[in-house]
Amino acid sequence: MNSNSVSTLAQGITIERWTRSSRMAVVISIIVLVALALAPSVLGAGSIDRMTALFIYIIMAAMWNALAGFGGLVSVGQQVFSGLGAYFTVRIADRGIDPFVAILIAGLVVAVVSYPLSLVMLRLKGGEFAIGMWVVSALTHLCVNLDGLIQGETGTSLISLNAYDSGMRRTIIYWLALVAMAAILSSLFVLLRSRTGAAIQAIRDNEDAALSLGADVVGTKRLLFVLAAAGIGIAGALWLASATSFQPKTYFSVQWTAYMIFMVLVGGIGTFEGAILGAIIFFAIETWFGALGVWYLIGLGLIALLFALFLPKGLWGEIERRFGLSLMPVGYRLKLPSELKVKE
């Protein structure tokens, strides 16, 4: 398939790569990112912190959706990477490295660590993989507790952040989160639109068929596994920078993966836009009802259950089904000539 946005086939049938709405969506996205970059000059401290949290949620949702929605690798243990991202940030910063540089290095270290882990975990299938990742997270949590610097569940703080003025620190974290979100989403979008992206989705749909067509099943899965690990690791490191304190039981909690699953399930699993929409919805619910404590968590569970029963493809999946709208297309769309369309 060539790189043109529209390829003409026999009898006037065409394959669309881009649509007018998707081109507009890209332009609007760029404008929004520029506006967000300038936002700290007009936002208060509380709003900056909340927007930083939103960017982190979007990263987490996009990475879990990439792994499960596009790759078919459902995991309930992705909190291992958010925990490691925060842990490595503390460890690297303790060596005297600037904490913001430590965040970036931590993301790379998580990616490196995830590679040998993938050699083992990708041998597992379905539920075995999902539960296996949870077991890995629990074991990693116990190992981190043994580090004298962490002091068990007492935890520690990213004290090197105190070298920065609180206002400047908050703004830098905001910009880092924004840049990380934009870079990760852009990289994921480019990947999914490439030949490798087509292979990823083919493997999800039918691994044996993809293998028979020459797809590198193991290598493609490993690439996706490492990418998701690195993204979630950076998200965990950014959350640490925002919160400053590190307690292993918080960062290695399965609650993080539960949040990722909720965002993707509500927004639309297997759709690029769905993860972003789900993160925004989750962010709004948390902002308005997070203070309700246990009732807030019960509400999240009920909402997830209702979506699983009545809108299994999520909000964006339903929008695509009803209106055929795709703002960030990662595949191709077959367009029939008007004379071949069935009139209702």
- 235 pLDDT band, cuts 50/70/90, is very high
Given this model, what pLDDT does residue 5 score? 46
13-37+46-340 folds as ABC transporter involved in vitamin B12 uptake, BtuC (1.10.3470)
Q: What is the pLDDT of residues 255-284, one digit of tens each?
A: 999 999 999 999 999 999 999 999 999 999
pLDDT at residue 344 is higher than 50: no
Residues 6+ apart with CB under 8 A from 265: 278, 304, 307, 308, 314
Q: What is the pLDDT of residues 25-70, one digit of tens each?
A: 889 999 999 999 999 999 899 999 999 999 999 999 999 999 999 9
SS3 letters across the chain: CCCCCEEECHHHCEEECCCHHHHHHHHHHHHHHHHHHHHHHCCCHHHHHHHHHHHHHHHHHHHHHHHHHHCCCCCCCCHHHHHHHHHHHHHHHCCCCCHHHHHHHHHHHHHHHHHHHHHHHCCCCHHHHHHHHHHHHHHHHHHHHCCCCCCHHHCEECHHHHHCCHHHHHHHHHHHHHHHHHHHHHHHHHHHCCHHHHHHHHHHHCHHHHHHCCCCHHHHHHHHHHHHHHHHHHHHHHHHHHHCEECHHHHCCCHHHHHHHHHHHHHCCCCHHHHHHHHHHHHHHHHHHHHHCHHHHHHHHHHHHHHHHHCCCHHHHHHHHHHCCCCCCCCCEEECCHHHCCCC
Given this model, what pLDDT does residue 37 score? 95
More confident residue, 334 or 75: 75
pLDDT at residue 341 is higher than 60: no
Which of 258, 330, 240, 265 lies closest to 297, judged by CA? Answer: 258
Residues 78-97, mean pLDDT to the nearest whole number: 95
Q: What is the pLDDT of residues 184-207, one digit of tens each?
A: 999 999 999 888 888 898 888 888
Residues 6+ apart with CB under 8 A from 248: 83, 87, 141, 144, 145, 150, 152, 153, 155
Which of 193, 225, 185 lies closest to 201, judged by CA? Answer: 193
Given this model, what pLDDT does residue 324 score? 77
Residue type, 171: T
pLDDT at residue 4 is higher than 50: no
More confident residue, 22 or 341: 22
Residues 121-132, mean pLDDT to the nearest whole number: 93
pLDDT at residue 20 is higher than 90: no
CB 90 within 8 A of CB 150: yes
pLDDT at residue 331 is higher than 90: no
Given this model, what pLDDT does residue 53 score? 96
- 15 pLDDT band, cuts 50/70/90, is low
Which residues are 15's β-sheet partners? 7, 334
Given this model, what pLDDT does residue 188 score? 94
Distance (Å, whole) CA 76 – CA 258: 8
pLDDT at residue 340 is higher than 60: no
pLDDT at residue 100 is higher than 80: yes
Given this model, what pLDDT does residue 60 score? 97
Given this model, what pLDDT does residue 342 score? 42
**Percent of the chain scored above 70 by pLDDT?**
91
| Average pLDDT score over the chain | 89
Given this model, what pLDDT does residue 6 score? 46
